[in-house]
Copies of this chain bind each other. A is one copy, B any other.
Amino acid sequence: MDTPLREPTFLILTALATEPMHGYGLIGEVAALSDGRVALRPGTLYGALDRLVDAGLVDVEREEVVDGRLRRYYRLTPAGEATLSSETDRLRRNVEAATARLRERATGATAPRLAGGLA
């Protein structure tokens, strides 16, 4: 998994950063994190969790049965924390670059810094 994380995956890791949660609970947590913008469906969620477990970014902390339903609790691994951290940095740099250029544009500036500069 050297591909950059997509939004659903990123938010799942973020949700798990605080404390372990079970799959279905993540649906609500991710929705809360994203102000309701990202509404995960089961197919998306469990597919992503399986991939994350395969990649070693997340593991199963425990399973319990509540009211006859299985609850499987997922937890962020140290590798998952490292990945979330570096992905966050990557996104932050992109946000800063875009913000700078949008601001520059808004003020009508006409002096590009990076453009075509270094071959």
Contact = CB atoms under 8 A, between A and B. Distances in A.
Nearest to A31: B118
B101 A17 contact: yes
Assign chain A's interface to a size class: 35 or more
A95 B4 CA distance: 14
A66 B6 CA distance: 39
Interface in A1-58: 4, 6-7, 10-11, 13-15, 17-19, 21, 25, 28-29, 32-35, 37
Contact of A97 (B33, B99, B119): B33
Chain copies in complex: 2
Interface residue SS majority, chain A? helix
Interface of A: 4, 6-7, 10-11, 13-15, 17-19, 21, 25, 28-29, 32-35, 37, 81, 84-85, 87-88, 90-95, 97-99, 101-102, 104-105, 110, 112, 114-119
